[in-house]
């Protein structure tokens, strides 16, 4: 190389690409190319750049809306993309499948189409598939029949509509009509007779009119129905999280509408219960009357009341009694190691900062660690605040303190088991706030269902009247 003309570094003019033939990397030429690239979404017409409703494609895979391409061909007779001659007979009607959400998807794999999906159509049927499916089920096994209709086709009949690896035909700034500043003829200005260029498009255009009329009336009604949709009584203050999950996970289908999460009946009841419950533990030494704090410990109180109503505590002994501390029972085995909750599994603690094991007659849950509550409970003989935030307080003694004193006076062995049997004859529930709440809930559900049925009948009547008007027209 020359000693003076060629330099051992890239000059400013080479970097900036001021002259033709300069370096193409890092310069403004590449930047301009990137800036000029404007991608056409897969579900949009290449002529109007708007979402299509009745897609048609050319043999090279360019997709148009029928109502846009027919007036163009009638006026110019050329392809708006390349400027070459194009006839209406060469257009292929495409059959895009939609899922329940109204999104275009592959009818075989059921995967939603995106701008990054390689999409292909079969010329003979017009059915649109994900290209990977055609490759796996048609090309590799050499099965040359349409996957939906079994209609035979050849490899040449596979038309690529979108290839993420080759987006040249999706850059609408390179289209002939775009460069020339041409505009699509406004089909609304022409009569239908001017648009109908041949018999093949007559039927399609007529069917479009009918579907537009019916869809416009039905969509307006549906929008009214959606706007009047009432919030469920057990709706949570947060959503199901499907929208955020669909945007952050490629494994989930796209969701664009947030819906309220729903509490189950028990969870909803535990959050709204406010009344107190009352019951009596009938022992062979007398009755212990209990007030249950259902608002502070709704799950624990519900468990105790349901087990009591079930007769779970009948003939169960108090297996442990420590003077000046507490008396413990609720284990059908009498060993202190048994017992289960109404749900047949352990349930979590319910600690409240305003509740403490202060005073005589506090009713609390026995456990063997965090969140291990079952059926066992204990009643305090005196304050034991060291048990706070370790055992769930769910009630207190409101009658029968003299009976509690009798139980405390009964002697015990070395393992704190009473020498005289202390038996629970039964636990009688006087006031069950959960039963009352469930009755109110059933009434609320009944009223909500009646309102929904009434609204449904009203909407059906409106739809029927609209369809009747359309038929008359």
Q: Comparing C-alpha atoms, which of 309, 347, 327 is closest to residue 404?
A: 327
Q: Rounded to whole angstroms, how far apart are CA atoms 275 and 293? A: 8
- Say how many Å lie between the first and final Cα of the chain, rounded: 84
Task: Mark whether 378 is an active-site residue.
Answer: yes
Catalytic residue among 304, 378, 394, 437: 378
Q: Rounded to whole angstroms, how far apart are CA atoms 433 and 100? A: 43
Catalytic residue among 99, 240, 367, 463: 367
Catalytic residue among 37, 153, 178, 325: 325
Task: Mark whether 50 is an active-site residue.
Answer: no
Q: Rounded to whole angstroms, how far apart are CA atoms 159 and 59? A: 7
Catalytic residue among 17, 328, 373, 376: 328
Q: Rounded to whole angstroms, how far apart are CA atoms 100 and 208? A: 21
Task: Mark whether 222 is an active-site residue.
Answer: no
Q: Rounded to whole angstroms, how far apart are CA atoms 170 and 163? A: 9
Task: Mark whether 320 is an active-site residue.
Answer: yes
Task: Mark whether 325 is an active-site residue.
Answer: yes
Task: Mark whether 415 is an active-site residue.
Answer: no
286 in Cβ contact with 406 (< 8 Å): yes
Q: Rounded to whole angstroms, how far apart are CA atoms 195 and 75? A: 10
Alpha-carbon torsion, ordered 274, 280, 281, 283, to 10 deg: 170
Catalytic residue among 387, 448, 459, 463: 387
Phi, psi of 443 (to 5 degrees): -65, -40
Q: Rounded to whole angstroms, how far apart are CA atoms 146 and 260? A: 42
- Classify residue 369 by burial, with Cβ atoms within 10 Å: 0-12, 13-18, 19+: exposed
Catalytic residue among 304, 318, 391, 404: 391
Task: Mark whether 272 is an active-site residue.
Answer: no
Please name every residue paired with 260 in a beta bridge, in sequence order, or none if there are none: 239
304 in Cβ contact with 377 (< 8 Å): yes
Q: Which residues are catalytic?
A: 320, 325, 328, 367, 378, 387, 391
């Amino acid at each position: 190389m020359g000693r003076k003309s060629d330099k051992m570094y890239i000059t400013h003019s080479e970097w900036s690409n001021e002259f033709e033939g300069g370096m193409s990397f890092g310069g403004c030429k590449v930047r301009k190319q990137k800036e000029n690239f404007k991608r056409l979404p897969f579900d949009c017409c290449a002529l109007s750049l708007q979402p299509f409703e009745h897609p048609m494609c050319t043999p090279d895979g360019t997709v148009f809306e029928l109502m846009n391409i027919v007036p163009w061909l009638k006026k110019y007779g050329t392809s708006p993309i390349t400027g070459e001659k194009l006839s209406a007979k060469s257009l292929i009607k495409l059959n895009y499948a939609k899922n329940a959400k109204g999104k275009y998807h592959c009818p075989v794999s059921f995967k939603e189409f995106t701008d990054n999906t390689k999409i292909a159509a079969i010329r003979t049927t017009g059915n649109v598939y994900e290209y990977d499916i055609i490759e796996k089920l048609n090309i590799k096994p050499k099965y040359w029949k349409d996957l939906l209709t079994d209609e035979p086709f050849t490899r040449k009949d596979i038309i690529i509509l979108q290839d993420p690896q080759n987006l040249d035909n999706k850059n609408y700034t390179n289209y002939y009509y775009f460069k020339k500043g041409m505009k699509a003829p406004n089909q609304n200005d022409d009569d239908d007779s001017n648009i109908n260029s041949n018999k093949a498009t007559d039927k399609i255009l007529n069917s479009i009119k009918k579907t537009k009329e019916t869809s416009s009336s039905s969509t307006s009604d549906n929008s009214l129905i959606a706007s009047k949709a009432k919030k469920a009584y057990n709706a949570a203050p947060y959503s199901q999280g499907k929208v955020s999950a669909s945007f952050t996970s490629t494994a989930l289908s796209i969701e664009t509408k947030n819906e309220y999460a729903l509490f189950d009946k028990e969870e909803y009841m535990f959050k709204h219960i406010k009344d107190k419950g009352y019951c009596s533990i009938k022992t062979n030494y007398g009755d212990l009357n209990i007030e249950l704090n259902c608002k502070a410990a709704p799950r624990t109180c519900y468990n105790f009341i349901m087990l009591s109503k079930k007769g779970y505590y009948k003939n169960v002994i108090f297996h442990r009694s420590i003077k000046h501390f507490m008396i413990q029972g609720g284990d059908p085995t009498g060993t202190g190691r048994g017992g289960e909750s109404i749900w047949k599994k352990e349930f979590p603690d319910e600690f409240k900062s305003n509740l403490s094991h202060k005073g005589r007659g506090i009713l609390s849950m026995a456990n063997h660690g965090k969140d291990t509550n079952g059926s066992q409970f204990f009643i305090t003989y005196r304050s034991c605040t060291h048990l706070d935030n370790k055992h769930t307080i769910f009630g207190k003694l409101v009658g029968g303190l003299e009976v509690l004193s009798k139980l405390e006076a009964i002697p015990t062995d070395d393992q704190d088991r009473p020498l005289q049997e202390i038996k629970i004859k039964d636990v009688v529930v006087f006031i069950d706030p959960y039963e009352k709440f469930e009755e109110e809930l059933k009434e609320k559900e009944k009223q909500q269902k009646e309102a929904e049925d009434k609204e449904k009948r009203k909407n059906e009547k409106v739809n029927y009247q609209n369809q009747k008007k359309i038929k008359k027209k």
